[in-house]
Structure 1
Amino acid sequence: MFKKILVANRGEIALRIIRACKDMGIQTVAVYSEMDTNSVHVHLADEAICIGPAPSKKSYLNVDSIITAAMVTKCEAIHPGYGFLSESSKLVDACNLNNIKFIGPYKEHIEKMGNKSEARKTMIEAGVPVVPGSQGSTNKAEEALEIAKGIGFPVMIKAASGGGGRGMRIVHLEDEFIEKFNMAKSESITAFNDDSMYIEKFIEEPRHIEFQILADNYGNTIHLGERDCSIQRKNQKVIEEAPCAAISEELRNKMGETAIRAAKAVNYINAGTIEFLLDKYNNFYFIEMNTRIQVEHPVTEMTTGIDLIKEQIKISYGEKLNISQDEIKPNGHAIECRINAEDPSDNFRPSPGQIEGYFSPGGYGVRVDSHIYSGYTVPPTYDSMIGKLIVWGKNRNEAIDTMKRALNEIVITGISTNVEFQKRILDNESFLENKIDTSFIEKKIVSVKL
């Protein structure tokens, strides 16, 4: 097994990786920006190296600095977590050049599945159902409009290299298409330095269902069940659940088999996620593959008992999966709430600043993945997520009750958070009745005046 791993990330995911490594007897090296000098991951790792100033481009996105840190500390591998360089083929190239193992998929997997139009083409060839849409990408508004008219409105404009909801617009009317296309393209250039876009049919009232994949170097590919990620705001996930309480066992098996076929179509290796849209008629469509660990991976861990970070590390080291598909028997129901430093009453404005007081919830079935503490200063430089609250129950109703208890226990003072907003979601009658889709927050929460 690896003796030392560099963790190329920050916040709760850096802590998550460090803890998994400690369990496995692996030494860790934390990297941090000048802004993160007092972050917990810096102090819990065996070693820590500052890799640059606060801006991500000069620190966590600086491939040269990260590779240098790994070489100086004699790390054998780098775990990128999620976000930042987790899907960077440039980092994979640099790792290969310096004989460092990248804990994740191969470069060709990242490039093929990271480009939405290329991924779509690959899935069509593999017989995986996809949302009706353009055959390739375009950066010309007039050409895109003709494609949209051929598909039929409403349509979704997406950045070919996109992610996290950026470079994405829903268009219901033909006369608003050009303006929204140009807005999405401009956003894509800023976020991804790529102006190629593609168009697909917008599925109304869909659920966002994703299947967790594990695949080793020896042709073994399994799925660990699904997560329902339908509770979203502006295409950013807010609450995730496992399993999806709206699908039958027959449909679950069909979607799981399709997810495995999708992964095998590119000979995928390591942890990944196949994402589908499920319409109200139980038709499902591939939308993308995430070639990394996901923020919401804990709900799968809570229902399967499998540590996904440890599995990533073992696969990257060259070990065979020691789990077969028939051994995957999800138990109970898990829910994750993302806790963000933001003010929902002020259009979700980020709320950086010093945390004056913090109390973490606990009790049976409660897990908290967070890097904050009393006195910690939430920086304005990075993502506003400051933690994840995860609960488990024997069924969905029990998990909801446990989450309500945990949300009532958590105390974070000195900054604004979305804790009360999460409570509103869990108290909503439609959520309790599992009548949800990806527009739930917009229709049932944000639009409802208190």
Structure 2
Amino acid sequence: MLSTALPLVAVDPTTASGDTAWLLAAAALVLIMAPGLAIFYGGMVRAKSVLNMMMMVFGALAVVMVVWILVGYSLAFGDDLGGGLVGDPTQYAAFKGMLEEVPGAPYPITLFATFQGLFAVITVGLIAGAIADRTRFGTWLVFAGLWTVVVYAPVAHWIFDFSAGDHVGGWMANELGALDFAGGTAVEINSGAAGLAAALVLGRRVGFGREPMKPHNLTLVMIGAGLLWFGWFGFNAGSALGATNTAAIVFVNTLLAGCTGLLAWLAVERFRDGHATSFGAASGVVAGLVAITPACGFVTPLGAMAVGVAAGAICAVAIGLKHKLRYDDSLDVVGVHLVGGLVGTILIGFLASSTVNGVDGLLYGGGADQLGKQLVAAGATLAYSFTATVLLVLLLEKTMGFRVDEDDEMAGVDLVIHAETAYDLHTTGGARLHFGPETGNLQS
């Protein structure tokens, strides 16, 4: 992420107008990632959980944006309260003091804040995939709001909030000097670590390891992956915060990493299983995009292709860990987003090139210094997100109940929680069904 500080001198009005137009378009592209993720995840779950899965993503969109406007943005980008850990929660509460136009600013600050809020939406939405098929919807909405405040906003402050003038930002970006162009730490590692924590606390689905739990609709998975890829150009190139040469390089890098991620995943599948699958293609695209997210503004197109290959191959192997280690990450959030985020964040230390953004990694003669910084940033994000999420999920499980009852899980959370099914495959008739409370058993 380029510096978020507004300039002290006026910029050319034409340039400001162009940058604002690009950031508006980029924000819209990131927004479309939410329904794209809902479709992607919806196709991956079993037929009895489709609507609940999609509702978890749409619910996160609504809750996170409200919380972000009220307090999240201020926690992430307000003046640091000390140690580079979190911003002042009252400084920009409910966008206080942000609505008037700032003369000479390259873009409206409200637009930047909204763009950043959509990053938070996607991050929370990703966590839903780790706990699919077994989650109470009401508790999930509470979790989404609390996690935004307790976990996402502080981590965003660490890595995205740059010091400028009298403003003091986060410790990773300013004191450590870690690099993360568009969210390898705050989005990918953060969501993957949180997904792992939530999956471990809530436990495995009924029948995990004994019953097939394959994607019920691969057509939806492919469509969702395409929408995510489309939106990812706003996610990454939009983080240049202007219609610049950097944005163009990031756009190319994002495209190439998705392509090589797809090819690498399919190569692993073909070698390991004898088949190259559509599910593997969709997963490979996402793995490549995840890994290039932190690196897209620091590597050459050749480097971007290398990042995609590494992520596609490593993530294709990593998703099998859940069966070996017996944790139930329903939709491979850990194997793709945590592992892919780590791959991309760490590879900056090897593949960063000063021809792109002034920093050389180990393979370009820059030494191991930047690699060490990347390792610290990745490790700190993982540790904080995992620990805080474990405590938060335990609290909600003990107070509200986070996991549905076993009978409700077996009946299907779509019917039990939402009184709906994704597919009306049966003629009307037979026993009349009715529903009790949100997590009450289906009765006839």
TM over 0.5, shorter chain: no
Q: Which structure is higher in RCO with an 8 Å CA cutoff and minimum separation 6?
A: 2
Q: Which has the higher strand share?
A: 1
How high is the TM-score relative to the length of structure 2? Answer: 0.30
Q: Which has the higher helix share?
A: 2
How high is the TM-score relative to the length of structure 1? Answer: 0.29
